[in-house]
Amino acid sequence: MEDAYIPFCGTPPAPADLWGRWLFDPLLMAGLAAFALVLVWKARAPRAAVAGWVLVALLFVSPLCAASMALFSARVAQHVLLTLVAAPLLALAAPAPVRMVMPAAIGFWLLFWGWHAPLPYAATLGSDLIYWAMHLSLLGAAWVLWSAIFRVHASQPQQALFGLALTAAQMSLLSALLVFSTAVWHGWHQLTVAPYGISALADQQLAGAVMWSAGGALMLAVVALLVRSVLRGGEPAMTRIEGKT
């Protein structure tokens, strides 16, 4: 009989074991090292590159990876940090060569909703390949979106702000669906949340609250910074950072 598949981040941990669940998988370490080399080669803003790389590494090496196996709210926190903190840092450090904000925003929207739907989400728990397809596509789409926003925000502020507004709106709507749903979306977590003293539905509602509050706060912070830059007649954020490095 074949051994049961173990998800990339491991089996769902008990709360007492969580802080010991750092992950130093050789392939993960090799991937992070290769990613660091690419950033060294391509980065225009070293400080943003270092910050973005460190955050990406922590999201998969730290116990948050294991926690995401037990709690949907931990997985959502991982995705919020990946797409709304790490991705903009990487876009500042090594911007993708895109200027079309709306196609980038729609692409990110489709991927973000798609990967949190029940069937695709369940597939990530049964295959390392699909697990990494989820995270790499989310990071890549967010990287492209933030690159486009930063490139055009000074010359075409309406396009940048509309792309941000669309992104904030779609994430808020998904958050509301998670918070107010009376059905559990992901059956996996019905089997994993009990040691944490909450129900799968409460965990799902917490996931929606994290996406709504933390995600909303981060989006508002970026909007405020971009509006401030435009009102000052400043140059694009990435150009300003490059000038300081």
- pLDDT 10s digits, 28-54: 999 999 999 999 998 889 999 999 999
- pLDDT 10s digits, 89-131: 999 999 999 989 999 999 999 999 999 999 999 999 999 999 9
Predicted structure pTM score: 0.90
* Residue % of the chain over a pLDDT of 70: 92
- pLDDT 10s digits, 193-207: 999 999 999 999 999
The answer, yes or no, to whether residue 243 has pLDDT greater than 70, is no
Pairwise CA distance, residues 245 & 136, whole Å: 28
